[in-house]
A = this chain, B = another copy of it.
Amino acid sequence: MAGMGSTTSAAGGTRPLYRQIKLLIVQDLQAGVWKPGEMIPSEWDLADRFGVSQGTVRKAIGELAAQHLLQRRQGKGTFVATHAEQATRYRFLRLAADDGSQRDLTRRLLQCQRLRADPDVARPLGLRSGDAVVFVRRLLLADSRPVVLDDIWLPARLFGDLTAERLAAYEGSMYAMFESAFGVRMIRAEEKIRALAAPAEAAALLGVAAGAPLLSVERRSLTYRERPVELRRGLYRTDAHHYRNELL
């Protein structure tokens, strides 16, 4: 019997069925029913559970894969997306060397401490000013030369246990650590980019003259349900690198 209509399922309003399925899957992802890197049930399995056809589950999963919440692997299964992979490790790093070289960046941790959030930090994070945050300052170096100075603020409610030691010990990307050590998976981010004259302190750390032009990249990272989980203010040297972007 084809064409049962779109409001057959119990919960949900007039949304198409596959949208409702999508929501149910996202809820399970958010609840941690399946952890990053793990395989989720097969399309047929989910179809049985939800009482819909395989095609409907497939469409829901398709959209979630397009949003990078899930990852499909033919013949293997569908997996919860993770930052702990060589392949997707640079999805959020838009810095590229002008000469096209792919050299890895080195991290140097400068600070890691608990602070009270200024209004300028609290607002983008959805906190109240004075709320506890973890502040991290670090340098990224290419070929031993400093390229990026990052200031990072994280809500202490989520990242209270973060210490310099744990940060220094971790091998993979920061976002990989967030998801494996704190259960916080970064989904997408918004950035505001400006050019500014290097303040004295930043200039010294980056090895440029005070007042030299730097790229200012302010990033707000969001997890499931658009919840902000990170504020990052980066200063980029762009004398041998650039920020690459694609307009689609």
Seen from chain A, the residues whose Cβ lies within 8 Å of a Cβ on chain B are 67-68, 91-92, 94, 96, 188-197, 212-216, 219, 236, 238, 242-248
A194 adjacent to B92 (CB under 8 Å): no
B191 adjacent to A238 (CB under 8 Å): no
Listed A/B pairs (19) with beta-carbon separation below 8 Å: A94-B247, A188-B247, A188-B248, A189-B246, A190-B244, A190-B246, A191-B246, A191-B247, A192-B242, A192-B243, A192-B244, A192-B245, A193-B215, A193-B245, A194-B242, A195-B195, A196-B238, A197-B212, A215-B215
Provide the main secondary structure of the chain A interface.
strand
- Bound complex: CA A67 to CA B246 (Å): 13
- Bound complex: CA A159 to CA B32 (Å): 55
Residues of B within 8 A of A244 (CB): 190-193
- Bound complex: CA A96 to CA B238 (Å): 22
- Bound complex: CA A238 to CA B213 (Å): 12
Residues of B within 8 A of A215 (CB): 193-195, 215
Residues of B within 8 A of A213 (CB): 195-197, 213-214
Known: A68-B248, A91-B247, A248-B68. A214 touches B195 (CB 8 A): yes
- Bound complex: CA A216 to CA B67 (Å): 30
A195 adjacent to B196 (CB under 8 Å): yes
Residues of B within 8 A of A94 (CB): 245, 247
Residues of B within 8 A of A212 (CB): 197
Closest B residue to A55 by beta carbon equals B55
Q: Tell which of A193, A194, A195, A236 has the most Cβ of chain B within 10 Å.
A: A195
Closest B residue to A188 by beta carbon equals B248
Residues of B within 8 A of A67 (CB): 248
- Bound complex: CA A195 to CA B217 (Å): 11
Write the nearest CB–CB distance from A12 to chain B, whole angstroms. 20
Closest B residue to A186 by beta carbon equals B247
Write the nearest CB–CB distance from A136 to chain B, whole angstroms. 19
Residues of B within 8 A of A248 (CB): 67-68, 188
Known: A197-B213, A214-B195, A238-B196. A92 touches B190 (CB 8 A): no
